[in-house]
Amino acid sequence: MDKYAKLFSKAALIYLALGAFLGIGISVRPDWGERIRFVHIHLNLLGFMIMMIASVAYHVLPRFNARPLPWPEGVKYHFYLQNVGLLGMVSTHFAGGLWTNGALHYLFVLSAVMAGGGILLMIVNLYGVLAPADAGTLPARITGDMKVGEALDKFPNALPVFLASGFDSLANPVARKTFAKVVTIDKACEKHGVDAQEFVQKLNAALFSRSAPPTPPGRPSTEASAKEGRKIKMGEFCAADVMVGSLVKVYSETREVFEKHYGEECFSCPGHAIETVEQSAQMHNVDLEALLKELNCVVELQLKKRR
């Protein structure tokens, strides 16, 4: 569980204890009710209830929807705003701030705005997790008018199909970054004397049929990593699309790297078995490149020890 999601749970339990204590106070002395009824209600509802919901929702919703929070930093700001706001509200209300015209009333309003602002952040962030995926990120199929470079960027698995059809120059990464970016698939076919319609069909069949061609060496498959991960074998280095569970099974010492970044209870979540390194980094707002470097250092050390 992330730091602030956990802090929300802890704060919620503290507010429940305080709220229940005040509830007992009102039961014993109903005449206190007028003063502390608001405090009791808001510690319990705004403190315990909303914060416990926030804690669970921040942890669970991104995992259920396989989508990270649009603004992970926002959880921290929500935490401080709602806590400072709630404590300000209950203390100024207790001191009579709702009914006076002076500074106390302004303080109550300021606290109310802070608590409200925190809740607004939660709404926006969680709504972003639930919003439908952006359909425009990956085209449904490759078409002839698409630039060769664009097709390769979006579908790295298309490279072996290009190479097998005689586009040998694409084996060179510089070519893929330069002229491939300006030439359409139709034009490239024309130049190489390849039937464009047939070739596009071949590409789509290879990419969208069940048995897609293997990822070219050295290039992690971005398409595969967005969907399902792969297992790693002893002797291989880690890439973005490797499943965390498989990596830890083969290179047990990488477990400590995940625990360091994601918290010690990270492996209590069953998701780790099928989540890829890339997906896990996204979920925990950790830089993927830096994480892969760290993991591969550990992999290298473990491989050296075996020799």
- List residues binding ligand HEM (CB under 6 A): 19-20, 23-24, 26-27, 33, 37-38, 40-42, 44-46, 48-50, 89, 98, 112, 115-116, 119
C-alpha closest to that of 242 among 287, 283, 272: 272
Angle at alpha carbon of residue 12, lines to 9 and 18, rounded to 5°: 145
Considering the complex, state which of residue 23 and residue 271 has its C-beta at the smaller distance from ligand HEM.
23
We find the least distance from the C-beta atom of residue 109 to ligand HEM, in angstroms, to be 9
We find the least distance from the C-beta atom of residue 128 to ligand HEM, in angstroms, to be 21
Exposure on the CB side of residue 4, measured as CA atoms within 13 A: 18
Whether residue 195 contacts residue 189, with contact meaning beta carbons closer than 8 Å, is answered with: yes
Considering the complex, state which of residue 54 and residue 158 has its C-beta at the smaller distance from ligand HEM.
54
Q: How many CB atoms lie within 10 A of CB 176?
A: 18
We find the least distance from the C-beta atom of residue 272 to ligand HEM, in angstroms, to be 33
Considering the complex, state which of residue 26 and residue 163 has its C-beta at the smaller distance from ligand HEM.
26
Cα distances (Å, whole numbers) of residue 14 to 52, 91, 96: 11, 16, 24
Considering the complex, state which of residue 29 and residue 191 has its C-beta at the smaller distance from ligand HEM.
29
C-alpha closest to that of 232 among 183, 172, 220: 220
Considering the complex, state which of residue 23 and residue 144 has its C-beta at the smaller distance from ligand HEM.
23
Considering the complex, state which of residue 45 and residue 301 has its C-beta at the smaller distance from ligand HEM.
45
We find the least distance from the C-beta atom of residue 102 to ligand HEM, in angstroms, to be 17
Query: Where is 285: in which H helix or E strand?
Result: none
We find the least distance from the C-beta atom of residue 70 to ligand HEM, in angstroms, to be 22
* Residue of minimal Cβ distance to ligand HEM: 23
Helix H segments across the chain? 3-28, 33-42, 50-64, 73-94, 103-130, 148-154, 159-164, 173-177, 185-192, 196-208, 222-227, 244-250, 255-262, 277-283, 288-306
We find the least distance from the C-beta atom of residue 227 to ligand HEM, in angstroms, to be 39
